[in-house]
Amino acid sequence: MLVLSNLFMTVAWYGHLKFKSTALWAVILVSWGIAFFEYCLQVPANRIGSGYFTVTQLKVMQEVITLLVFTVFSIFYFHENFRWNHFAAFCLLVGAVFLTFKEW
């Protein structure tokens, strides 16, 4: 559910960048329409997840999933290159998830 939710939000926030000749008010309305579905998925996912994880753990997971979805989106939709520094950043994010879930 989180991956689908993040895909909707990524499309809402960045998908319009390929349509720069479209009026700003139109892309705002379309983006809000797409974001509505994201919220319909994200809110229940957070409510269900809060029974198993802390709020901090939920947020860290959501950010990592968002960045993974965005990376795939930017590669396939915008044809951007995935470079070594992107990989290094993801490794650091995995470290953040580890530290968030680690009981000290």
The two three-digit tokens of residue 48, written as one number:
């269900």
1 — pLDDT class (breaks 50, 70, 90) = low
**Can you tell me the distance from the alpha carbon of 51 to that of 7, in angstroms, rounded to the nearest whole number?**
24
What mean pLDDT value characterizes the chain?
90
**Can you tell me the distance from the alpha carbon of 35 to that of 30, in angstroms, rounded to the nearest whole number?**
9
**Can you tell me the distance from the alpha carbon of 7 to that of 77, in angstroms, rounded to the nearest whole number?**
12
**Can you tell me the distance from the alpha carbon of 11 to that of 49, in angstroms, rounded to the nearest whole number?**
24
- pTM value? 0.79
What percent helix, strand, coil does the chain show, rounded to 5? Answer: 80, 0, 20
